[in-house]
A and B are shown apart, each in its own frame.
Chain A
Amino acid sequence: MKNVCLYFKIHQPFRLKRYRFFDIGNDHYYYDDFTNDEIITRLAEQSYIPMAKTLLDMIRENGKDFRFALSITGTAIEQLQLYVPEFIGILKELADTGCVEFLSETYSHSLASLEDTEEFVREVKRHDDLILSLFGVKPKVFTNTELIFDDETALMISSMGFKTALTEGAKHILGWKSPDYVYCSAASPKLKLLLTNDKLTEDISIRFARTDWDRYPLTADKYMDWIAALPQEEQVVNLYFPMDTFGTFLPKSTGIFDFIYALPRFAKERGIAFATPSEAAARIKPVGELSVPYPLSGTDEARDVSAWKGNAIQREALHKLYSVSERVNLCSDRRLKQDWEYLQSSDHFYYMSTKNLADGAAHSSFSPYDSPFSAFTNYMNVLADFIVRVQEQFPEEIENEELNSLLLTIRNQSAEIDELNKEVKNLRNNILNYDEDDKRPAAKEKLKNRKPKTKSNP
């Protein structure tokens, strides 16, 4: 039996406001609230809410037969909580049906997997904790920012306990192979890999409303025919969409919501099932290993990470950002931690791309800046201020390790002080009691034998 896994992705970055160099050191608020509010409210109205309601209707209509996966970043959730709280309610409703699987990913849609292993682990944990606290489920299937994946990531996420991951069915990795099987990672054979089917995804996300397409118009009937016509052995079709495709790029008037709504009916007629990625991975055995020595992604023509690390300014900005990662981790300032999250969003680096032609057009259509250079300048100014703030927390001359041990000492000392305080209180009580009752040698004994218990780390 064939399985169709649908994935819907929701991500929004905290876009930066115009931040000039003379603001460095003077202004510590970095975000363009107006734009962020405007964009997410518009997207929610046109796309997220109607789409989520359609999906909810589909679950109600088809019972447990219709299932799908949602991938939503921490920054997107924060923005929704701020500007469109009603959508969080709809997401909870979806979660309560039990037909929706929430995927694990980085909190801020970051590139930490490529830059900083330790931060990557923290990012994923922060994200999954948030999902657990909001929706009461712990994500089990991992998908990285924009489907970025390589062997190293495979090892990292395996060691974090993930058994399944979703990534891009990139031609240069698959070669003649089909993405419609379950594979496993060559680096970590216990990790099952699900791969997106680009052709069938783009038939909807790109070509659905194109009247010059020779298969236009696309109907749910026709679409399910294509899936049914795939070879018998190809058992899982992974379709991965940014959720805002529906309603913005493909406006309601194209009939896209009706198309999606009709999918389960025609799937059922042809014996095709909908599955969550966990179910698909559990049902189907991997057919072979895939080795991904260089990172791939689902973005740009090249399907690699050049969208974010393609030129010198992008690499410099990333390098500068992650150079303070350890320091930030030692800090406990909440605002600093929050800015650290927001500054990690891969979008900031995406805006700095200097690519031309079709890729370049895609980059600039999402960018709030008029050029990659102003994107870089603005980001670096903000980052400069951020780094100043990090350094204000602890003097720069102290090495991280030294600082770490000092912080440990401080923490231990406060624990020790607490303990001693407690003991002093006990003893004081004992002394008070002693006055009343002369014969209580136990307390006296204890007083004599007291030794300092805790020690600071050398």
Chain B
Amino acid sequence: MKALMFGWEFPPHILGGLGTASYGLTKGMHSNGDMDITFVIPKPWGDEEKSFAEIIGGCNTPVAWRDVNWDYVDSRIGRFMSPQTYFDLRDHIYADFNYMRLNDLGCIEFSGRYPDNLLEEINNYSIVAGVIARTIPCDVIHSHDWLTYPAGIHAKNVTGKPLVIHVHATDFDRSRGNVNPTVFAIEKDGMENADHIITVSDLTRRTVIEKYGISPEKVTTVHNAVIPLSDEMLSLPRRKKKEKVVTFLGRITMQKGPEYFVEAAAKVLKKTKNVRFVMAGSGDMMEDMIRLAAKRGIADRFHFTGFLKGTEVYEMLKDSDVYVMPSVSEPFGISPLEAMEMGVPSIISKQSGCAEILHNVIKTDYWDIDAMADAIHAITSYPALFNQLRNDGIEEIKGITWEKAGRKVIDIYEKVIAARN
């Protein structure tokens, strides 16, 4: 089966959970066998893993004819894809886009991030998708998150193949209810044009059904999984220390509920002294949080690390005794799974999608700072609880694989293809 996927991020250059999930899912589907996946992203960096999917960059796809020879193309974009693909794509240019700002290869430039002119970039991505869909044969089209819905719809219109969209988050999660009407419109348009919708949790599924008015039979939940960490990460040394470390890790934004973490920390520190709190990450609420910690008089035991990248994330986790994710609204949330895999007991909010599948964690309401403080205190003061959660957590995570999630997605493909014929 051939699948044409549209994504926005792909490891190792990722900005959020979307890239990790796209990568894991693609890899998991590939390991089920008989899957031929082409993964389109706006801008590849050349160091992406290509063993299980062919990667095509939007920024390397010509939308206007340029007379260039093989060697030139090879020297320009050879690290990203084979020149042959470039020439194949060039044969399928469907309109004259010379009015746009193009480079020497007739391609549109992409940032591959979330720039201020995001909507323009989304539109350009859809233009590129038209060329790719005409070139690459496929049985099904799969779009990851709202940024790529227009591209998916375009590809569907060109090829007549079924479209599956994958909802990793909705704007309701990102904005605590203050939805951006433009984003909402793009999301709703994508959902209505899709043959089937995959959500990462039942929580998101309900949002899609209730807030976007989509028929429930069209929406299926496929929970995310976690990629097993390398031995290198798992064997990172753990610093010896007398004090317990409680960690919040993620973007410090409204959606992640950082203020509840600070309040819970204040409650714990009122009673016990041998605990330190760490808020790792950056975001628009960071300064507020620094101010709040100072106001509560806990700044001596509450630390900010700023943005962590690469292995720093895992080094931080390895030194933690408790991981807390108090998200107000989290479509799934892979990070607690990673923490558990590292042997760190986790406290997660009931309002996060991963709470639907995890057992060996403590779940609290995000607003219930008493419960959260109590759970933090319990894990840091009762070693039996720490060990129970740690050991059973490691075992539990071993059973949550992308391969199983991939199987479910393939089943959905088969269903939509059958419905088409």
Contacts and interface: CB of A to CB of B under 8 A. Distances in A.
Interface in A343-362: 354, 356
B384 A381 contact: no
Nearest to A370: B363
Interface string B362-382: 110000001101110110011
Given A313-B384, A373-B362, A20 B374 contact: yes
Interface in B376-395: 377-378, 381-385, 387-389, 391-392
A311 interface: yes
A316 B392 contact: no
Interface in A210-241: none
A312 B375 contact: no
A317 interface: yes
- What is the predominant secondary structure among interface residues of chain B facing chain A? helix
Contacts of B420: none
Given A370-B363, A371-B362, A377 B385 contact: yes
B241 interface: no
A22 B387 contact: no
Contacts of A20: 370-371, 373-374
B271 interface: yes
B218 to A, nearest CB: 32
Q: How large is the interface on B (under 10, 10 to 19, 20 to 34, 35 or more residues)?
A: 20 to 34
Nearest to B272: A21
A317 B385 CA distance: 10
A315 B385 CA distance: 11
Nearest to A378: B374
B378 A21 contact: yes
B389 A22 contact: no
Contacts of A243: none
Contacts of A311: 388, 392
A373 B389 contact: yes
Interface residues of A, number: 20
A374 interface: yes
Given A354-B392, A370-B363, A371-B362, A21 B377 contact: yes
Contacts of A380: 378, 382, 385
A317 B384 CA distance: 8
B271 A381 contact: no
B270 interface: yes
Nearest to B390: A312
Contacts of B362: 371, 373-374, 377
B267 interface: yes
Nearest to A380: B382
Contacts of A317: 384
B374 A377 contact: yes
B271 A22 contact: yes
Interface string B21-33: 0000000000000
A370 B371 CA distance: 12
Interface string A285-325: 00000000000000000000000000111011100000000
Given A371-B363, A373-B362, 8 more contacts: A21-B374, A22-B271, A312-B384, A316-B382, A354-B392, A376-B382, A377-B378, A377-B385
22 contacts: A21-B373, A21-B378, A22-B270, A312-B387, A313-B388, A315-B384, A354-B359, A354-B360, A354-B392, A371-B362, A371-B363, A373-B375, A373-B385, A374-B371, A374-B375, A376-B382, A376-B385, A377-B362, A377-B375, A380-B382, A380-B385, A381-B378
